């Protein structure tokens, strides 16, 4: 039996501001992401990508439509229950690594579990395991300033996966990295996704990492313009350039 989709967005609309200054960020977005899939969302700045992933992760409400994530209609849960749901199920990787300079690498990675008041013995074990999974077990007692940009992003990934989330959302995860480090980070994300069955949602402007996605959703002016497999996306672009 096929697993239900991890994410089902239908006709999502979101407007910021009040009349007469109103901006319609999403104009009826529909998007379905299968369980375990790597979905890449791309599009120009201001097209609605960040608004869309904020709604999917339950950090932002929406005005109309439905958003069902892991079988939960997000509009039906509020407040502490929504925070708890997000803490159990969602991991975040940001373009800025957001590491706390005064904490060791292990302490940075442990933050999601410490917030949940897990036992220290369990937290230490899971932090070490998460660091091991990103190849940084030997850096547990180092501080962020001692690491390269690529290593810091790997620490951010370890922090995002320490609670084994079902969905990992990455917002421009390679934008602060050189090409080599960026590719290593994407390879790591795909590896972790495969090992843990995690659904990946990656927002990016970086065309070099599109090959790591199972499908690519192009967002333009608050709407999903098209969704293609990587192979179809490349073929469509080549055909477009050939006719220009």
DSSP lists the bridge partners of residue 92 as 169
What tens digit of pLDDT does each residue of 30-63 get?
Answer: 999 999 999 999 998 889 999 999 999 999 999 9
pLDDT attached to residue 1 = 58
Contacts of 65 (CB under 8 A, 6+ apart): 9, 10, 11, 12, 13, 28, 29
Task: Give pTM, 2 decimals.
Answer: 0.89
What is residue 72's three-state secondary structure?
strand
pLDDT attached to residue 198 = 94
Q: Are 119 and 92 in contact (CB under 8 A)?
A: no
Query: What strand order describes the sheet that includes 64-69?
Result: 21-33, 7-18, 64-69, 72-73
Question: For residues 160 and 94, what is the distance between their CA atoms, to the nearest angstrom?
Answer: 10
- Domain limits of the chain? 7-95+153-243
Q: For the residues 81-105, what does the mean pLDDT come to?
A: 92
Angle at alpha carbon of residue 170, lines to 164 and 15, rounded to 5°? 115
What tens digit of pLDDT does each residue of 141-185 get?
Answer: 999 999 999 999 999 999 999 999 999 999 988 888 888 888 888
Pairing of the two strands 199-204 and 215-220: unpaired
At the fourth CATH level, the homologous superfamily of domain 7-95+153-243 is: P-loop containing nucleotide triphosphate hydrolases (3.40.50.300)
What tens digit of pLDDT does each residue of 124-153 get?
Answer: 999 999 999 899 999 999 999 999 999 999
């Amino acid at each position: 039996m096929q697993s239900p989709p991890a994410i089902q967005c239908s006709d999502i609309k979101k407007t910021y501001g009040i009349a007469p200054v109103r901006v319609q960020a999403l104009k009826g977005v529909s998007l379905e992401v299968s369980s375990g899939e790597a979905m890449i969302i791309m599009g120009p700045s201001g097209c609605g990508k960040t608004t869309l992933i904020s709604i999917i992760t339950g950090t932002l409400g929406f005005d109309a439509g439905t958003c069902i994530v892991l079988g939960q209609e997000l509009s039906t849960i509020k407040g502490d229950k929504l925070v708890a749901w997000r803490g159990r199920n969602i991991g975040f990787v940001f373009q800025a690594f957001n590491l706390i300079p005064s904490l060791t690498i292990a302490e940075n990675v442990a933050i999601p579990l410490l917030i949940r008041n897990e036992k220290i013995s369990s937290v230490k074990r899971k932090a070490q395991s998460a660091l091991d999974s990103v190849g940084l077990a030997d850096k547990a007692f180092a501080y962020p300033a001692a690491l390269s940009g690529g290593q810091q992003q790997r620490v951010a990934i370890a922090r995002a996966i320490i609670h084994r989330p079902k969905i990992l959302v990455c917002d421009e995860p390679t934008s602060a990295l050189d090409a080599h480090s960026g590719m290593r980070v994407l390879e790591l994300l795909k590896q972790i996704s495969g090992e843990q069955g995690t659904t990946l949602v990656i927002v990016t402007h970086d065309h070099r990492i599109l090959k790591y996605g199972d499908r690519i959703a192009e967002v333009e002016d608050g709407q999903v313009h098209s969704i293609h497999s990587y192979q179809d996306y490349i073929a469509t672009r080549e055909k477009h350039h050939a006719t220009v």
